Structure 1
Amino acid sequence: MQPDLEIVEVRRDESFKVWSHGYPYRTVRWHFHPEYEIHLIVATTGKMFVGDHISSFAPGNLVLMGPNLPHNWVSDVPEGESIAQRNLVVQFGQEFVSSCVESFPEWRQVEALLADSRRGVSFGARTSAAIQPLFLELLAARGLRRLVLFMSMLEILMNADDRETLASPAYQADPTGFASTRINHVLSYIGKNLANELRESDLAQLAGQSVSAFSRYFRRHTGLPFVQYVNRMRINLACQLLTDSELSVTDICFKAGFNNLSNFNRQFLAAKGMAPSKFRRYQQLNDASRDASEEAAARGKGIDDAPPIVVAPGLPRSAAAAAYPPT
């Protein structure tokens, strides 16, 4: 069975996504995504599927998965019963990993673990018990505390001696093959045609489904109704254009696929809490502060590069000040 693609949305002001969900839930199906994932079960028992690996799981089950590795956890829960919080999840992309490699030489110690994660890595009870309190705090953490907790979790995983790989060495995840599934064709089509009219009936025809069946399938896959998903993608494109281009707000409105300015302003306000013009002004303010900081640093360069004042033993500081007058 071909896995479905999960769309992982990381906030613009964060480096990785942290969340939890219950059971049943829309992502509880055979699926994959380009991001790495740390997955911790906190409730229920059942069967775990990672690549070509199948085994039982229980609370404390902790797995690190690499990009595009299909996976699923199916809980033994009676029909009609639901669990509020079944598992905790951290997801982080290859771009974030690449940035860490470039910025921190110490990060290279993690590369062997991330390489193993392409087959899935399971950890024992001792490592799981050490990770869980960090995971729970990370759910509500903000700012630098998120990074501290995330790096602490990676350090524990990297040094764990109770780990084993899951999928067989011969197993190869093939995202190009996964992308042939009908819903992934639809998502790709939407991404390439945001500036054009997108009707649910046309996309249902592309997927080879009735409109009602497509509507249910699309919502199960993305977590959003079709119109809401398209609007979100268009708002994301508009934010990028407002930040990176000099196009007018009206031009951006139509380039992002909205058919009139009032609707664009209304949708943008609902999504971002401000008008497009104000969003652009704030971005310009952010850029201006960076430029001002660079100018201040350039003006102060002569002071920073001045040689240090060395006071000879026994020489009064007043004499040293006279010997090195301020410039």
Structure 2
Amino acid sequence: MMRPDLEVVEVRRDESFKVWEHGYPYRTIRWHFHPEFELHLIVATRGKYFVGDHIGSFGPGHLVLVGPNLPHNWVSDVAEGETIERRNLVMQFSQDFMRRCIEAFPECKEAQGLLDDARRGIAFDEATSVAVAPLFEALLTARGIRRTSLFLLLLERLCSAAQRTLLASPASSQSSSASTRLSHALSYIGKNLTSALRESDLAQLAGQSVSAFSRAFHRHTGMPFVQYVNRLRIEAACQMLLADDARITEVCFQCGFNNVSNFNRQFRAAKGMSPSEFRSLQRLNARSGDVAVDAASNSADVCSTAPPHRARHPANAALAPPGN
């Protein structure tokens, strides 16, 4: 079987987990893995799915929970060149997040068995999919405490499922756990981006020699250690540039770079522009939304002040505002 790619899951700084949707084809639709749990709900198309050494068929309503580092992929059966605007919903959350949930709320220990089974992948029955679907949809736009409460309610639905089918064989699950030491290193990097990160220290954490760790790291991430760290730091910088008005120098040091010139060079290499240009263009993008709202408001004002007799004229009847 071909070697899976590593997907870098980026969770916003002001959120505990990631919920999103995408169509087909899409960049993440490939044989891949990541250290996070993933809940996957198909809303359109049929096809074949692959979880570890399991191969099965899927259709709308197909609901699967995949555990950390377990390779997976969903391939839709669509005509060549055809695109699907919205194929599935995805929720991703880290092992550390669930550990902290269980520590903070002992009642969440009920989910431990579910999480253990997810290391082989779990397919859920139709009734559970129907119950989970509206919660999943609501999570796409939920904010604040409601977002957290929806997550816990969804988790409760999964725990109480009448039928859970394990997908990958125990052997497949064990082979995927060979990446566990590397996933610990990846998790450590994500939590310590602002610190000095040395490949030798991460190799020690993974219990490997530097050369063995370097080869394994490149094989699983598709890039050298330093490039991977810089990529994560640049993505963190982008979030900071969008979130507040901190000076470029402050952003540089807060995301882990130790000098501004290197930060600017790495940012330009990754994004094709300087940090200040990135921030300016994003502000321009935000202002365009305000302009669109103002234009719609002005258009509504013009319609509301139009003389009534014009709206009733036969030639203009189709243009009459609602209620006239």
TM-score (norm. length: structure 1)? 0.64
Quick one: distance in 2 between partners of 1:94 and 1:33?
11
Quick one: distance in 2 between partners of 1:51 and 1:116?
13
Structure 2 equivalent of residue 301 of structure 1: none
Quick one: distance in 2 between partners of 1:128 and 1:233?
34
Higher mean alpha-carbon deviation, 168-177 vs 101-110, is at 168-177
Instruction: Please say if 1:256 is aligned against 2:263.
Output: yes
Structure 2 equivalent of residue 159 of structure 1: 160
User: What is the correspondence of 1:79-158 to structure 2 with a 5 Å cutoff?
Assistant: 79-158=80-159
Structure 2 equivalent of residue 307 of structure 1: none
Deviation at 1:182, TM superposition (A): 4.7
Structure 2 equivalent of residue 322 of structure 1: none
Quick one: distance in 2 between partners of 1:187 and 1:143?
37
Structure 1 equivalent of residue 67 of structure 2: 66
Quick one: distance in 2 between partners of 1:101 and 1:263?
42
Radius of gyration: which is bigger? Answer: 1
Matched residue type, 1:59: P
Quick one: distance in 2 between partners of 1:42 and 1:263?
39
Deviation at 1:252, TM superposition (A): 5.1
Measured against aligned partners, the alpha-carbon deviations of 1:141-198 in whole angstroms (never above 9, x if no partner) come to 1111111111111000001121111001122203259955657241633134x4xxxx
Identical aligned residues as a percent? 50
For 2:73, what is the secondary structure of its paired residue?
Answer: strand
Deviation at 1:266, TM superposition (A): 3.7
Cα distance change on mapping 1:245 and 1:25 into 2, 3 Å: closer
Matched residue type, 2:221: N
User: What is the correspondence of 1:285-300 to structure 2 with a 5 Å cutoff?
Assistant: none
Measured against aligned partners, the alpha-carbon deviations of 1:12-61 in whole angstroms (never above 9, x if no partner) come to 00110000011111111100011101100111111010001011111111
Measured against aligned partners, the alpha-carbon deviations of 1:307-327 in whole angstroms (never above 9, x if no partner) come to xxxxxxxxxxxxxxxxxxxxx
Quick one: distance in 2 between partners of 1:183 and 1:68?
11
Matched residue type, 2:105: F
Quick one: distance in 2 between partners of 1:234 and 1:145?
28
Contact 2:217 2:225 in 1 (8 A): no
What is the root-mean-square deviation in Å for CA atoms of aligned residues?
3.5
Higher mean alpha-carbon deviation, 175-184 vs 12-21, is at 175-184
Structure 2 equivalent of residue 38 of structure 1: 39
Cα distance change on mapping 1:187 and 1:96 into 2, 3 Å: farther
For 1:132, what is the secondary structure of its paired residue?
Answer: helix
Quick one: distance in 1 between partners of 2:283 and 2:95?
27
Cα distance change on mapping 1:23 and 1:259 into 2, 3 Å: closer
Matched residue type, 1:131: V
User: What is the correspondence of 1:212-231 to structure 2 with a 5 Å cutoff?
Assistant: 231=234
Structure 2 equivalent of residue 190 of structure 1: 227
Quick one: distance in 1 between partners of 2:131 and 2:68?
24
Measured against aligned partners, the alpha-carbon deviations of 1:100-138 in whole angstroms (never above 9, x if no partner) come to 122111111111100000000110101000000111111
Contact 1:253 1:264 in 2 (8 A): no
Contact 1:110 1:158 in 2 (8 A): yes
Contact 1:28 1:73 in 2 (8 A): yes
TM-score (norm. length: structure 2)? 0.64
Cα distance change on mapping 1:97 and 1:242 into 2, 3 Å: farther
Contact 1:41 1:87 in 2 (8 A): yes
For 2:78, what is the secondary structure of its paired residue?
Answer: coil
Quick one: distance in 2 between partners of 1:17 and 1:117?
18
Contact 1:64 1:117 in 2 (8 A): yes
Query: When the two structures are aligned, how many residues end up with a matched partner?
Result: 237
Quick one: distance in 1 between partners of 2:252 and 2:105?
28
Quick one: distance in 1 between partners of 2:115 and 2:235?
31
For 1:186, what is the secondary structure of its paired residue?
Answer: coil
Structure 1 equivalent of residue 77 of structure 2: 76
Quick one: distance in 2 between partners of 1:256 and 1:189?
13
